[in-house]
Amino acid sequence: MKLLATILGILFVGSSFAYAQDDCNPNPPDGMQEIAAFSIFQGNYNNGDYPFALRYGRWMICKKPTEIEGIPPGRFKLSTQYTKFINMYTEIGKGKTDPSEREAYIDTALALYEESFELFAETPEEEFELYQRRGRYFLENYNAIDDGLQKAYADFEAMFELDPERTTTTANGYYIRVTVENMVRQDRKDEVIAMIETATSFASPEILTFFDETLEKLFDAPEERLEFFGGKLEDNPDDLEALRNLADAQEDLDMQDELMVTLKKIHDLEPTYDSALSLADIEKGNAQYAGAAELYKEALEKAPNDQAKKEINIDLSDVYASMGQLQTSKQYITAALRIDSNYGLAYLKMASIYGQAVSSCSDGRKLEAKDKVVYWVVVDYLNRAKRVDASVTNTVNSQLATYEAVTPSTEDKFFTLGYEDGQSVKVDSSLMSCYSWINETTTVR
């Protein structure tokens, strides 16, 4: 049983204490006027003489006045005085060597906090601030309070219930961080997830990182995450946060078919540049080129900058080339070059589809001298690529010899085609109908 459980009556009088609640006197001591007693209380509180201040101020705890005659209206606030009393009882208690006395003073301060909730928490904002102050009090004095740390965390949870946004943003996320950490230690997984889901929209980048790290620790095994978030989705199939966590688990477990279904669901609910691009990459990797093309187009519309746009144009050129639609592939390479005329990869891609054009046009027949003319265009683009972008030099050099070896021979040039060195040649329908879309000019060499 706690000693002096309600010690609201503590008065420092010589070496004795009077602490009975029933003896609480609503009148100032020595027959003084209220304003005079209040003045002495204030002066001694400001000077740090807390025992003497208590002697002249305790009557306010008993009477609970809303005003004091002689003090202008609005200048006296009982809630402010309660804060002072809590501080005084606490500081006096800290100076006691007897643990039972020290505990009694702390208990009194806590009793005043409890009364404060009844008296001053008239709005959610006032209640929030009281929970915040008391929670900090529990933390600062937890050694003198039974289960003080858990009481602090309980008050922080109460803050979150009242105002999730304010709790998440106050003190750079301190309250949400320590609260989540405590819930993790208690293995309250469902509540941690719920709190993080609510707080995510208010959290700073640093706190979002903390949330991600917390979830990873909370469910170490992907099988565990799969089961947990799968269960959540049974109750709420459109839970985006659960879907994202489920996708992470499926990726870790290499569940490609299931992952694709989950990612499509996420994208349907909240289409973004990142989700469209991720899905497109997966479809491309699975040789689902038509689906990949549509998703890349969607990503292109949402692309945040020119760098992203030119890269997606190249992705689109790849999928259309894979479908044999070389003219469409060229359109996207051209779009990438309009964004960046020094984009070496785009010139490499153009060389590639022109080389692919020769294979397509000569399919089922012997390669002719006219077909070989196209390889001069391929070589032109390879050389241009390394001229404008040194980063692709090694790639170009590894391909040049292969294409140069299949360009028209001397016999092809002079006898079959009737060309002369240095002559400009148009690669279009005049060369062969299936090359009409290339529409490039090259030089005989």
pLDDT digits (tens, 9 = 90+) for 324-377: 999 999 999 999 999 999 999 999 999 999 999 999 999 999 999 999 999 999
Structural domain harbouring 394: 363-445
Lookup: tokens for 187:
């293995």
Angle in degrees, 0-180, between the axes of helices 240-252 and 189-199, rounded to the nearest 10:
120
- List the one residue out of 337, 436, 430, 354 whose CA is nearest residue 388: 337
Q: Which residues of the chain have pLDDT under 50?
A: 1-22
376 belongs to a structural domain: yes
CB atoms within 10 A of CB 27: 12
The angle subtended at Cα 126 by Cα 122 and Cα 129, nearest 5°, is 155
* Alpha carbons 346 and 317: distance in angstroms, whole number: 9
| Residues whose CB falls within 8 Å of the CB of residue 134, separated by 6 or more in sequence, listed in order | 110, 113, 155
Distance from chain centroid for Cα 318? 32
183 belongs to a structural domain: no
92 belongs to a structural domain: no
* Alpha carbons 211 and 184: distance in angstroms, whole number: 11
What is the per-residue pLDDT across 390-401, written as a single tens digit (0 to 9) for each?
999 999 999 999
DSSP-assigned states of every residue in 310-326: HHHHHHHHHHHHHTT-H
* Alpha carbons 443 and 319: distance in angstroms, whole number: 30
Phi and psi, residue 43, nearest 5°? -60, -45
Lookup: tokens for 290:
């038509």
Distance from chain centroid for Cα 282? 24
* Alpha carbons 436 and 373: distance in angstroms, whole number: 13
- List the one residue out of 398, 396, 312 whose CA is nearest residue 347: 396
433 belongs to a structural domain: yes
The separation between the first and the last C-alpha atoms of the chain, rounded to the nearest angstrom, is 104
Distances (CA, A) of 368 to 350, 372, 375: 22, 7, 12
* Alpha carbons 321 and 242: distance in angstroms, whole number: 37
Would you state the pLDDT for residue 23?
Answer: 64
152 belongs to a structural domain: no
Q: What is the tally of structural domains in the chain?
A: 1
Would you state the pLDDT for residue 4?
Answer: 41
The angle subtended at Cα 49 by Cα 47 and Cα 52, nearest 5°, is 130
Do residues 282 and 263 make contact, with C-beta atoms less than 8 angstroms apart? yes
428 belongs to a structural domain: yes
| Residues whose CB falls within 8 Å of the CB of residue 185, separated by 6 or more in sequence, listed in order | none
Distance from chain centroid for Cα 259? 21
DSSP-assigned states of every residue in 98-155: SHHHHHHHHHHHHHHHHHHHHHH--SHHHHHHHHHHHHHHHHHTGGGSTTHHHHHHHH
322 belongs to a structural domain: no
DSSP-assigned states of every residue in 43-72: HHHHHT-HHHHHHHHHHHHHH--S--TTSP
408 belongs to a structural domain: yes
H-helix or E-strand spanning residue 339: helix 326-339
Distances (CA, A) of 139 to 71, 72, 144, 178, 400: 36, 37, 10, 11, 72
